[in-house]
Structures are given as structure tokens and as C-alpha cells.
């Protein structure tokens, strides 16, 4: 997302006009999540995605109309089975996409927010935007048909009616029109900042709140530079983590071994790890070459603010190190928060398979997933296949 905000800053410096399209609400299965954005400038250039296909194409055309005529738009897209068959978009869901001109997209009560958002996405204190959505219950007078059969785009029954800017210390700017709603938005923003992902909160029969946290990319720090670390670094860069390898051996700290952009911190591992000054959106994986070094690294890791700490190895090693650190005064609460042994049980044993299980668990932590299979239950599939 930082690339999109950086593009906004570039367009503003160039004096170009642009529009921002945001997925503000979803139901069912959709090709993008709440908070996904597409930036469209007055030359037709785009940054980001709403999931592709005709939904994105229609949003692009609507953005061009807004750049020409002014105003804003909140549109509903129903993803039907026909649309899924023709275009590959996920069927069965509905997306609501808000499109607004750039000069209002990042402004609250006259305050320009781009500087704060750029700072937050670059590693500064996180912030959040809370947008109030109200169900209008007004039947649309005009229906806009999209060319692709099976897709509908109409005036939505939801409208964006207020916005609040919330900082990490709870201070806010703007109002949703009611002190109680403002307080609820600050509470929801605090939870979204803890999770690090956008979310929609239902706060009444006619009101929903879209909360979009803005924070730096997740930072994966791997203590050790061996084979599992190499596989982790390769996969994590694809998942858009900033990656740092901490390693004391020169041959394993060789930058040529790792993907472009991976940072190498060579030095004694535990002290180097402790000196990194890691913030909340950090993930630490301890995968050194020995139990003693793992223990030193875990001691350093639990002193940080990292939201995720994982220890590679056996259950026996986990118990031995946990007992040792408890005897040193590390609290049981902090030790129980460590993911050890690390990863989800996927059955693999190679370095790449171990890395996959670790990153799967980290994704579960980041996005609040259940870790359960997504496949249809047998009884649901049986009923569907039996239906005439």
C-alpha cells in the first residue's frame, strides 16, 4: 500500500488529478478484501487493484467520469455465477466500491493526511481512517448496466457519510457526527491497528464502519542464515515482508545467497537481534544452528515488541528453553505467546516445506484466520449436487 500512497504524493507534486477507488464492504466470496484500493490518474494510469476483471474495468470508467464531472460514487457489484464462469472472478459475493476524487480521499475536516499516512506506511507511528457507511434505503432511480452478462452495477443502498482520522495514541481528527460514534470508531481503530488489517464493523441496523489501518510493511527477522532461513526469505519477499537475516558466519551472511532487497545484519546473533529496535509489526523466526544460541536469541526476542515470535525445533527443545528462561525471570505469559515449535502441521520436512508452514502460521496471525481448510463440507456438497 505504501507504493500507492507514494504514487499519490508523486501525482500531487506533478499537479495531476486522480481518483481513489476503495473496496469498503463485501459479502460472500469476492476477489479482493475490504480496504483494497485502485488509484486512477487523469492520464488513465493505474496503481493497485480491485481484483481485476469487469468490476475493475467499470470502476475505472466511473473514476474517469468523476475526474471529468466531479462528485463521488459508491457502487455495488454482485458477482454472479455467470460472471465467474466468463471472467474467473469469484462468484457468490458482493462488493461495494467507493470512488472519490484525490483532493478529498485523504482529507478530514480540512486536514491533509498524506504526510501522516506516508510516515505511518514508512515505519512511523501507525494511523487509521474510519469511514461511516449508512444504509440509505432509497431505491435507485438510475441503474448502470455493465456490458458483461451476469454482473450488475447499481446505485448502492450504502453511502459514505463521515470520516475520522485516528492516531495510534487514540487522538482523532474529524467527526462522524456523534460523540458516541466517534468513540466507537476510536475503539474499532485501536483493534484494527492491533490486527494490522482493514475491517468493517457493524454498529447498528443502518450503520457500518470501515476502518483502514495504515502501517509499515510487516518486518520478518530471521535469526540464523541456514537453509530454512533462505527458503523463508525467498517466500516472504513474495508475501511483501521486509526481511532481515541476522547471522554471524560470513559464508551464511553472503548477500548473494538471498533475494534482492533482503537486509543482512552480520554479527553475534542474539545481541544484534536485540539491538534492531523492532516495532510491533515485526515477526521473529529463530532458526540458528544450536540449542544454546536459540535460547540466547529467544531471550532477546521476548524483550522486543514483536507481535510474533517463533522457535524452530523439537518439542523437547521448546520445553528445555522455556524452563531455562522461566528460571531467569521471563514471565509465563510471554513464554506462552511464543510459537514453538513453529509453524502449522502441513506434513512437509524439506526447508521449503518448513518455510511454507511457518509463513502459513504467520499469515494466520496477521489476518486472524482459522487455519481450517476452505473446502466445502461433504454434506454441503452433497446437497448442492443433489439439488435439481
Q: Each residue of 149-187: pLDDT tens digit?
A: 334 444 446 788 899 999 988 899 999 989 999 999 999
Confirm if 262 and 234 have CB atoms less than 8 A apart.
Answer: no
Q: In terms of Cα–Cα distance, which of 5, 22, 10 is closest to 212?
A: 22
Cis amide prior to 341 (ω within 30 degrees): yes
Q: Each residue of 42-82: pLDDT tens digit?
A: 999 999 998 877 788 889 999 999 999 999 988 888 876 55
* Distance from C-alpha of 148 to C-alpha of 80, rounded to nearest angstrom: 11
* Distance from C-alpha of 343 to C-alpha of 347, rounded to nearest angstrom: 11
Q: Each residue of 101-121: pLDDT tens digit?
A: 998 888 898 899 999 999 888
> Which fold does the domain 219-367 belong to in CATH?
Rossmann fold (3.40.50)
Q: In terms of Cα–Cα distance, which of 131, 115, 111 is closest to 182?
A: 131
* Distance from C-alpha of 170 to C-alpha of 303, rounded to nearest angstrom: 25
CATH 3.40.50.720 domain residues, the chain:
219-367
- Residue 218 is classified by DSSP as P
pTM score above 0.85: no
Q: In terms of Cα–Cα distance, which of 385, 18, 25, 383 is closest to 199?
A: 25
Calculate ∠ Cα 276-277-282, nearest 5°: 90
Amino acid at each position: 500500500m505504501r507504493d500507492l500512497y507514494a504514487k499519490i504524493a508523486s501525482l500531487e507534486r506533478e499537479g495531476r488529478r486522480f481518483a481513489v477507488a476503495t473496496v469498503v464492504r463485501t459479502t460472500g466470496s469476492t476477489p479482493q478484501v475490504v480496504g483494497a484500493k485502485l488509484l486512477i490518474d487523469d492520464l488513465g494510469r493505474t496503481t493497485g487493484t480491485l481484483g481485476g476483471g469487469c468490476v475493475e474495468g467499470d470502476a475505472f470508467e466511473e473514476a474517469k467520469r468523476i475526474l471529468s464531472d466531479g462528485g463521488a460514487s459508491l457502487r455495488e457489484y454482485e458477482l454472479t455465477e455467470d460472471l465467474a464462469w466468463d471472467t474467473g472472478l469469484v462468484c457468490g459475493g458482493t462488493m461495494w466500491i467507493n470512488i472519490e476524487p484525490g483532493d478529498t480521499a485523504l482529507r478530514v475536516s480540512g486536514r491533509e493526511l498524506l504526510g501522516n499516512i506516508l510516515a505511518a506506511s514508512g515505519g512511523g507511528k501507525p494511523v487509521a481512517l474510519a469511514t461511516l457507511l449508512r444504509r440509505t434505503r432509497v431505491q435507485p432511480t438510475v441503474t448502470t448496466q455493465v456490458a458483461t452478462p451476469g454482473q450488475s452495477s447499481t446505485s448502492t443502498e450504502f453511502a459514505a457519510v463521515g470520516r475520522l482520522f485516528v492516531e495510534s495514541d487514540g487522538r482523532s481528527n474529524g467527526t462522524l457526527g456523534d460523540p458516541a460514534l466517534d468513540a466507537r470508531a476510536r475503539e474499532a481503530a485501536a483493534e484494527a491497528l492491533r490486527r494490522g488489517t482493514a475491517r468493517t464493523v457493524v454498529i447498528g441496523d443502518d450503520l457500518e464502519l470501515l476502518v483502514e489501518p495504515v502501517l509499515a510493511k510487516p518486518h520478518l527477522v530471521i535469526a540464523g542464515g541456514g537453509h530454512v532461513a533462505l527458503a523463508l526469505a525467498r517466500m516472504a519477499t513474495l508475501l511483501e515482508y521486509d526481511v532481515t537475516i541476522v547471522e554471524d558466519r560470513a559464508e551464511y551472511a553472503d548477500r548473494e545467497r538471498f533475494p534482492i532487497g533482503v537486509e543482512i545484519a552480520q554479527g553475534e546473533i542474539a545481541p544484534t537481534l536485540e539491538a534492531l529496535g523492532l516495532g510491533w509489526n515485526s515477526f521473529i523466526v529463530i532458526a540458528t544452528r544450536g540449542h544454546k544460541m536459540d535460547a540466547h536469541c529467544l531471550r532477546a526476542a521476548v524483550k522486543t515488541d514483536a507481535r510474533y515470535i517463533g522457535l524452530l525445533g523439537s518439542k523437547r527443545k521448546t520445553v528445555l528453553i522455556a524452563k531455562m528462561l522461566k528460571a531467569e525471570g521471563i514471565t509465563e505469559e510471554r513464554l506462552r505467546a511464543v510459537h514453538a515449535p513453529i509453524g502449522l502441521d502441513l506434513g512437509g520436512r524439506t526447508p521449503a516445506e518448513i518455510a511454507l508452514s511457518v509463513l502459513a502460521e504467520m499469515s494466520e496471525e496477521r489476518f486472524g484466520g482459522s487455519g481450517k481448510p476452505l473446502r466445502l463440507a461433504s454434506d454441503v456438497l452433497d446437497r448442492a449436487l443433489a439439488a435439481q
